Structure 1
Amino acid sequence: MKELIAHNLEDIPFVAKVLLEQLGNRKVVAFYAEMGSGKTTLITAVLRAMGIENLEGSPTYSLVNSYDSPYFGEVMHFDVYRLNSLDEALDAGIEELLYSGAHCFVEWAEIVEPLLPEDVMTVRIQVNESGERVVQID
């Protein structure tokens, strides 16, 4: 496990770079964190590090935004916060997308945990007393 501390927003691109370095051959990254802790901000930085310029923000209402990275191919950003059950995730086709071969970054991963592949990378973000983001990458 790797632990990084983002003291401020200027540190987020460095954290994103380290996350990509740790990814290896894995395709799915599950993000666990409280509301407002910086999941979308970190994923946006990762997408930028992947060479994606035209970002759409969090796909809270559409569930998934799809991008084409010049370096990584197809990349998907999931925000499954609005799903109420695993059945809703299955009905929305989340499982097929997670196993499509695209790189997938999943916010609120606990909702779709049973669908995640065995080799999923886990990222946990916590806000400490100083307001810094403590990012744990497994």
Structure 2
Amino acid sequence: MDLHTTSTTDLPKTAAEILKFAQDTRIFLFYGDMGAGKTTLIKSMSEALGVTDAVTSPTFSIVNEYEGSYGPVYHFDFYRLKDQSEAMDMGYEEYFYSGNYCFIEWPEKIADLLPDSYTGVHIKVINAHSRQITVENIS
């Protein structure tokens, strides 16, 4: 599925479309350059899931937990990981295989630890306000 946004006002609709496309998938991998809008899109997706907490990048804590209408929502940012053992030490499996929503930024840092089934979200910057978002279900 290909989506195009031209403003942050497009994001609630885009988030709803991605969640609908994913069907029952609860693991989402977000790919994109620094500043592409991964955290901003995750914020909209979290809001669509009933999260009322402030959604912020967990760059230093690695994972943030938010309470949503469908249970906990876990938001990961693996950008600062030196190697995959850091994810293993934090018990990533408990989160990934919990059945709860997991939004993962910089999944390429833990490529060998990723589940076999997930929804991939690739964000490409077109210009300051425009993004091309490609979404795929992998199983």
TM-score by length of 1: 0.93
Describe how 1:96-107 pairs up with structure 2 within 5 A.
Answer: 96-107=94-105
Secondary structure of the 1:121 match is: strand
Matched, 1:61 2:56: no
- Alignment identity in percent? 39
Query: What residue number does 1:92 align with?
Result: 90
Structure 1 residues not aligned, in runs of 5+ = none
C-alpha change, 1:21 and 1:134, in structure 2 (3 Å) is: same
How far off its partner does 1:56 sit? Answer: 3.8
Query: What residue number does 1:51 align with?
Result: 50
8 Å contact 2:43–2:55 — kept in the other structure?
Answer: no
How far off its partner does 1:45 sit? Answer: 0.4
CA–CA distance in structure 2, aligned partners of residues 130 and 85 of structure 1: 32
8 Å contact 2:83–2:109 — kept in the other structure?
Answer: yes
CA–CA distance in structure 1, aligned partners of residues 132 and 107 of structure 2: 18
CA–CA distance in structure 1, aligned partners of residues 39 and 122 of structure 2: 13
Runs of 4+ off more than 3 Å: none
Query: What residue number does 2:116 align with?
Result: 118
RMSD after superposition: 1.3
How far off its partner does 1:129 sit? Answer: 4.6
TM-score by length of 2: 0.92
How many residues are matched?
A: 136
CA–CA distance in structure 2, aligned partners of residues 35 and 95 of structure 1: 26
Structure 2 residues not aligned, in runs of 5+ = none
How far off its partner does 1:91 sit? Answer: 1.3
